[in-house]
Structure 1
Amino acid sequence: MVENNSAVTSPPSGHFARRTLFAGTTAAAAGAVLGTAAPAHASGSTFRHGVASGDPLPTAVILWTRVTVAEDATPGSGIGAATPVRWEISTDPDFDATAASGTVTASTDTDHTVKVDATGLAPGRDYFYRFTARGETSPVGRTRTAPALDAELDRLRLGLVSCSNWEAGWFGSYRHLAARTDLDAIVHLGDYIYEYARGAYTGRNGAVRAHDPVNEIVTLADYRTRHGQYKTDPDLLALHAKLPFICTWDDHESADNSWRDGAENHDPATQGDWGDRKAASARAYLEWMPVRATRSDGQVQIYRRLRFGMLAELSMLDLRSYRDEEAGPLAGWRHADDPSRTLTGRAQMDWLTAGLTSAPTHWKLIGNSVMVAPLVFPPLESATTQAITTALGLPQGGITVNGDQWDGYTADRRTLFDAIAANQVSDVVFLTGDIHTSWAADLPLNTANYPAGPTVGAEFVIPSVTSSSVGDLLKVPPRTASVPAEEAIKLANHHLRYVELDSHGFGVLEVTPTQTQMDWFYVADVTDPVSGVRHGISFAVPSGGRIEQRPTPLT
């Protein structure tokens, strides 16, 4: 046994470089342990919010849990005695070979959550972890470190999710992802929780289950309570216990359409200072999520990179903390191109472009919370329509449909795309959530010249876990009114290769040296807690190429 994060002897270099998760006998052991040690929910349970891991590095991973020290010490209550918590991480599910261990304290300062950065681990290896407090041992979680930086990998498989609104439905997407045995990690692209008051934002047929607290969440106690509620969902807890998460926030972790100095869903007159609310939401998020954040000048920074050998580097963006306010619908037409307006902030843009242009990996993946592909009617930026755009005062990217996306901040998008093109960066793929619908797009340098002109990458947009889709909002049968709308969108935007506006579900992304493929999976009914799932469609980007549909799903 090694205490206080010390390392155990690593296996020979490359030993795990070509393995996929749950291969061989470790898979069987993991399945047995996790199948019998489901997250606890019973009254009096110390670990009723389960266990989680995240942000895997080659020699470290974040481990997380919450300790319920008394029945009234509920999330956000601010009460309960401090208590020591022992953690262990092992190479086997019986904990006969402990890799690292230690003791930390859970207290009201962190809402009795515990987050440990377990270091000194071996790269590319399955691990099991658990916590002990108040005489009780937590469920056993399973995680995996990232491969060594120089590892040559055959493949990487990631589950992708976003937009999980508690009131809109059951989290069947999490259940189906947890049932898979081929994934290396889960990437959550934002809107892990929703901030609305009970009944204020539901699903097609109203609320399936009720939010706590009853009010819209504004204070630190409110955000802690809401996070605590979400981590009682059995499907979410099962997925957290099985795979490491890599997360970023979007707007609903704080408030709808948030930006640097406010949010559309924030009223200073009745809800107080935005800075206080944003700080409360960020603090609760960092307490309750297995993310590794840094701090600079007192500010939280969650944009970061994770590396998977020589195959892929994943840059996770923060597109809420630094952005300017979204321009209004009419003013937005004239301000979308304003070079003084930013989505990323200057420091993050410099970090992103520097990382893309210097990345040693084959693929450059970008965890991106709002859609980057142009979505305009019509695309007007070509030289042939320059006179029209100038005369009417329209943005060079065309009339913006959704100014909350990169379309509302075209100067930042131009900076990013130009950097990719000028430095001849190849194999860039954006992975996106936010809009509760499914899309596959090439990213042309000049939209009006597509497909003749160059592209700078591709984008895969995943649907919501439960949050209302276009089809839900129309309240018509699925695959009826939305189908002609999808075709009209693709007709006006030729670079959009796939649009699906109805279904809820998740994505599975496979990265290999020759291509990156996204498979979309759709649950049948989010109001059914045991809903089935179907494969929707598969698209891939060949190395150095453009998006192509694939006839069969990943196996």
Structure 2
Amino acid sequence: MSEEPSRPDPTLTRRHFLQASGVAAAGVPATVAAASSVTDVLAHADPGTGAFRHGIASGDPTPDAVIIWTRVTPTPQATPGSGVGPDVAVRWVVTTDPELRSVVRSGTVLATVAADHTVKADVAGLAPATTYHYGFSLPDGRRSATGTTRTAPAATADVARLRFGVASCANWESGYFAAYRHLAARRDLDAVIFLGDYIYEYRTGGYTGKYGVIRPYEPRNELVSLRDYRTRHGQYKADPDLQAAHLRVPWICTWDDHEFANDAWDTGAENHQPATEGSWQSRRDAAQRAYYEWMPVRPAGTPNNRHIYRRLRFGRLLELSMLDLRTYRSQQATSTNGARVDAPDRTITGADQMAWLTGGLVTSTAQWKVVGNPVMITPTLLPPLEPRTTAALTQMLGLPRGGVTYNADQWDGYTADRDRLVGALRDHRVRDTVFITGDIHSSWSCDVPVDAANYPGAGTVATELVVTSVTAANIDDLTKTPEGTAGAVAGDALSALNHHVKYVDLDRHGYGVFEVTPAGVQMDHWHLVAKEDPRSGIRLDASWRVDTGTQRVRPARPLV
């Protein structure tokens, strides 16, 4: 989402979408959870001024491997992005006990200034569906906190249940990361799925909400250089609530635009000015390099074709496809560039990723096909025009055949790619496909229709469950109104105009808890009481379920 500078066409930014929609939908009665402390989680952590001040993390679990990560500060001057400090050998261990005595794997990796003193090990040879503990140490005896991680079930295993935390869009200046603290306090998660905007690239004050700058960025300037991106990643990783959430379970992450710049596409971004900020490729390469250094991710592909879209398998129950919807996309359609959202040559995925995605979905042997989707795929049009009865009107006005979108940054701006994907699911009769999505700073539950204007008559091919932002601004922030006021009107309007949209809440912040079982999947929407309060409590506002074989969302009882 962008605060400034704005684009000439206001229908295309998420900021203007939220301002125009001005949503708090009715959900289950709120259950307020007491704010929990992270002191128990970080009881043995290295002090904030120590060598392991940026915490540790794990990610991308497979049946026999997991990534473990940390960042070392070998000297006080060797801060993130500084480009100074000696190389240092870092020993890591993976064990079956929290005291780190029963070692199953160990090794040493060099923390170098070339990699900003970050270290990562892809630990193989592990047993499936097993909880492990891990930690790091330096030759002088300094030690990290002890983390917990877990491998995925074997590919052929019959799995009764999986449960994930789901989050996106954490703007440092907009609030505190209490959502991460509450995720860290849970004991029922197998992993956290993060769907993009782990950091934000703005300068201090460039994008806030109704409370202004709650805590300022480092660096204060907009991120452009490698040093800038490394410094901002370091600031985020110093947050104790984020550290605690990483410490508990492995994370499975992808990026969206703010890991780079707002509304990025393959050759540029809305928030990039070549005349003053240099080439887009240099900026993107710097952002990607910092991301791979600072995040516990395992890129797919080859060294010459490294990419972040990838697939993880969890027994017979679930196959998770994580997408990259920034690196390969065409520029967004605007009123000034003349592009049409339904032009057949425009893409959001790129040809290779689309072939990988559709091929994987139609051939998967897993029961549930879940897509980690950085931007919404559900049509949200105003109104959804039906081509057979309104062709004359759309042709006369020069409108897209499917209706008028108010957010061309998501799949609505790339309808040819969406048609390809929907068509593949329909033609191959793929069942139990669920998109889990972030980006739009709001909570949604939707059916994904074959034809939005002929819903439900034309049928559905999938469902979409969207989680809100950790802190990034939504309706009440941008309109500076109380929660549940301006947004409620917009939510009713969106559902009335798009009948496949069953639930919308545009006013609240938090995370989702996503459960997968053979009988169905469910997203519980947990929302903070006050993101501006570092000790904020949290409440369960809504629960939505997809029963196996239905391709439809429905309200549900909360998970227990």
- Shorter-normalised TM range: over 0.9
Which residue in the other structure is 1:486 paired with? 491
Secondary structure of the structure 1 residue equivalent to 2:492 = helix
Percent pairwise identity: 53
Query: For the Cα contact (< 8 Å) 1:173–1:505, is it kept in 2?
Result: yes
Deviation per residue, 1:403-435 (Å, 9 max, x gap): 000000000000000000000100000000001
Which residue in the other structure is 1:50 paired with? 55
Which residue in the other structure is 1:359 paired with? 364
Q: Which amino acid aligns with 1:552?
A: R
Which residue in the other structure is 1:315 paired with? 321
Which residue in the other structure is 1:185 paired with? 191
Deviation per residue, 1:305-326 (Å, 9 max, x gap): 0111000000000000000100
1:175 to 181, 189, 194: 181
Which residue in the other structure is 2:262 paired with? 256
Q: How far apart, CA to CA, are the structure 2 residues paired with 1:151 and 1:268? A: 51
| Count of aligned pairs between the two proteins | 523
1:289 aligns with 2:295: yes
| C-alpha deviation, 1:300, in angstroms | 3.1
Which residue in the other structure is 1:218 paired with? 224
Which residue in the other structure is 1:544 paired with? 549
| C-alpha deviation, 1:34, in angstroms | 6.3
Q: How far apart, CA to CA, are the structure 2 residues paired with 1:32 and 1:438? A: 26
2:458 to 435, 438, 453: 453
1:385 aligns with 2:390: yes
1:62 to 61, 67, 72: 67
Q: How far apart, CA to CA, are the structure 1 residues paired with 2:179 and 2:117? A: 28
1:141 aligns with 2:141: no
Query: For the Cα contact (< 8 Å) 2:455–2:499, is it kept in 1?
Result: yes
2:87 to 82, 97, 117: 82
1:339 to 336, 344, 349: 344
Q: How far apart, CA to CA, are the structure 1 residues paired with 2:252 and 2:325? A: 16
Query: For the Cα contact (< 8 Å) 1:218–1:271, is it kept in 2?
Result: yes
Q: How far apart, CA to CA, are the structure 1 residues paired with 2:129 and 2:246? A: 19
| C-alpha deviation, 1:484, in angstroms | 1.4
Secondary structure of the structure 1 residue equivalent to 2:60 = strand
TM-score normalised to structure 1 length:
0.92
| C-alpha deviation, 1:544, in angstroms | 1.1
Runs of 4 or more off by more than 6 Å in structure 1?
31-34
Secondary structure of the structure 2 residue equivalent to 1:251 = coil
Q: How far apart, CA to CA, are the structure 2 residues paired with 1:199 and 1:476? A: 19
Which deviates the most, 130-139 or 308-317? Answer: 130-139
| C-alpha deviation, 1:97, in angstroms | 1.6
Secondary structure of the structure 2 residue equivalent to 1:100 = strand
1:203 aligns with 2:209: yes
| C-alpha deviation, 1:454, in angstroms | 1.2
| C-alpha deviation, 1:297, in angstroms | 6.6
| C-alpha deviation, 1:532, in angstroms | 0.4
Which residue in the other structure is 2:165 paired with? 159
Secondary structure of the structure 1 residue equivalent to 2:272 = coil
Q: 1:506 to 1:33 in 2, by over 3 A?
A: closer
Q: Which amino acid aligns with 2:263?
A: N
Secondary structure of the structure 2 residue equivalent to 1:135 = coil
Q: How far apart, CA to CA, are the structure 2 residues paired with 1:290 and 1:239? A: 13
2:272 to 243, 249, 266: 266
Q: How far apart, CA to CA, are the structure 1 residues paired with 2:459 and 2:147? A: 45
Which residue in the other structure is 1:108 paired with? 113
For structure 1, the residue ranges without an aligned partner over 5 or more in a row are 1-30
Secondary structure of the structure 1 residue equivalent to 2:82 = coil
1:508 aligns with 2:513: yes
Query: For the Cα contact (< 8 Å) 1:159–1:185, is it kept in 2?
Result: yes
Which deviates the most, 294-303 or 232-241? Answer: 294-303
Q: How far apart, CA to CA, are the structure 2 residues paired with 1:363 and 1:294? A: 22
Secondary structure of the structure 1 residue equivalent to 2:282 = helix
Q: How far apart, CA to CA, are the structure 1 residues paired with 2:544 and 2:556? A: 9
Deviation per residue, 1:280-336 (Å, 9 max, x gap): 00000000000001354734300000111000000000000000100114767x611
TM-score normalised to structure 2 length:
0.91
| C-alpha deviation, 1:33, in angstroms | 11
Which residue in the other structure is 1:529 paired with? 534
Q: How far apart, CA to CA, are the structure 1 residues paired with 2:276 and 2:336? A: 28
Q: Which amino acid aligns with 1:280?
A: A
| C-alpha deviation, 1:396, in angstroms | 1.6
Which residue in the other structure is 1:13 paired with? none
Q: 1:409 to 1:32 in 2, by over 3 A?
A: closer
Secondary structure of the structure 2 residue equivalent to 1:72 = coil
Deviation per residue, 1:423-449 (Å, 9 max, x gap): 010000000000101111000101111
Q: How far apart, CA to CA, are the structure 1 residues paired with 2:391 and 2:437? A: 30
Q: How far apart, CA to CA, are the structure 2 residues paired with 1:203 and 1:41? A: 32
Query: For the Cα contact (< 8 Å) 1:203–1:472, is it kept in 2?
Result: yes
| C-alpha deviation, 1:149, in angstroms | 0.3
Q: 1:335 to 1:413 in 2, by over 3 A?
A: same
Q: 1:326 to 1:41 in 2, by over 3 A?
A: farther
Which residue in the other structure is 2:330 paired with? 324
Query: For the Cα contact (< 8 Å) 1:382–1:446, is it kept in 2?
Result: no
Secondary structure of the structure 1 residue equivalent to 2:70 = strand
Query: For the Cα contact (< 8 Å) 2:57–2:296, is it kept in 1?
Result: yes
Q: 1:551 to 1:71 in 2, by over 3 A?
A: same
Query: For the Cα contact (< 8 Å) 1:519–1:535, is it kept in 2?
Result: yes
Which residue in the other structure is 1:499 paired with? 504
Secondary structure of the structure 2 residue equivalent to 1:78 = coil
Which residue in the other structure is 1:370 paired with? 375
Query: For the Cα contact (< 8 Å) 1:39–1:51, is it kept in 2?
Result: no
| C-alpha deviation, 1:109, in angstroms | 1.2
The structure showing larger relative contact order (alpha-carbon pairs under 8 Å, at least 6 residues apart) is 2
2:435 to 410, 430, 433: 430
Equivalent runs, 1:112-131 vs 2, <5 Å: 112-131=117-136
Q: How far apart, CA to CA, are the structure 2 residues paired with 1:382 and 1:518? A: 33
Q: Which amino acid aligns with 1:126?
A: T
Q: Which amino acid aligns with 2:268?
A: G
Which residue in the other structure is 1:242 paired with? 248
1:553 to 550, 554, 558: 558
Secondary structure of the structure 1 residue equivalent to 2:199 = coil
Deviation per residue, 1:471-493 (Å, 9 max, x gap): 21111111012111110111000
